[in-house]
Amino acid sequence: MTAAQQTSTHEIDIQGEVVTKRYRSWDRREPHREWAALTLLAEHAPGLSPAPISADLDGTPPTVTMSRLPGTPLRGLHANPHVVEAMAATLTHLHRDVPAGEELAYAAWNPDAALALVQSRAAAKPDLGDDPEVRRAFAEGVSWLAAAGRTSDRLRAGATPPVLGLADGNLANYLWDPETARVRLLDWEDSGRADRAFELAEVAEHISHVDGDLDSDLLVDLLVPEPAEKARVREFRRLLALGWLLILGPGGPSATRNPPGTLERQAGRVLALLDS
């Protein structure tokens, strides 16, 4: 969600069917996280993500070499229900079949980090312009956040068994392959042990949804039939949607990249989630 997360963190070199990723930063141990995830995936869910080939994790810069995957990023696509069902099948496979033991680092983007970031941004009272619906979304969101913060056990990690999480809901990381009718996953540099409800909320609410069309409610319904877990997903969706609202204003770090009307649409999304 941070501005840094919206800039390129690596360079890619493609040679035929082989991809080498060179990291521009590695303070969060990005190459180690990616290599650990790709290795686990190759063992427990082959074909779901690139196959690991080799790595120089302590080089300057570090590199990870992997196989190239076919497909088109979901960001910018109008995903029909068939694509959403394929995405749900991929996430079910990931969360059910790939272990997330204690040897795996916690994901860099997680409930505690998100709660702290959104609380900090809300306290800073960012410039959100003069639109009355945007102002109402901010006011109602901050009121909800204060209440949620006081009973924040619902918004803390560890409430459910951990899963291997991508920790990045950018739809550019989800590749739709019409030849096989599968969705595959890229960019595991922030990955690790994760809260499943938070991971699903991150996919549902990442601001990349403004490009194209993905039915986030259908995705959540397919993945979360149990009311208790669905309630946790909804709480995290509210948190993350509010977080995006707080960085989309005229003075925010994403302002220059916003399509016209993004802030107003995000305000509507926050209000709809708070009313749900």
Average pLDDT, consecutive stretches of 10 residues, N- to C-terminus, the chain (276 residues):
56 94 93 97 97 96 96 93 97 97 92 92 91 96 84 62 94 96 96 95 94 93 91 94 91 75 94 95
Edge to edge, the sheet with strand 174-177 lists 72-73, 174-177, 182-185
Q: Is 107 helix (H, G, I), strand (E, B) or coil?
A: coil
CATH at 166: 3.90.1200.10
Structural domain span for residue 96: 70-112+146-275
Residue 97 domain-assigned (yes or no): yes
DSSP E strands, 133-239: 163-165, 174-177, 182-185, 192-194
Q: Closest by alpha carbon to 70, among 186, 166, 214, 189?
A: 186
Q: Confirm whether 9 is domain-assigned.
A: no
The answer to whether residue 95 sits within a structural domain is yes
CB 72 within 8 A of CB 157: no
Identify the pLDDT of residue 5. Answer: 45
Q: Angle at Cα 121 formed by Cα 116 and Cα 126, nearest 5°?
A: 175
Q: Would you state the pLDDT for residue 173? A: 96
Q: Is residue 132 part of a domain?
A: no
Give domain status of residue 43, yes or no. Answer: no
pLDDT value of position 149: 66
Please tell me the total count of domains within the chain.
Answer: 1
Give the whole-angstrom CA distance, residue 276 versus residue 271: 9
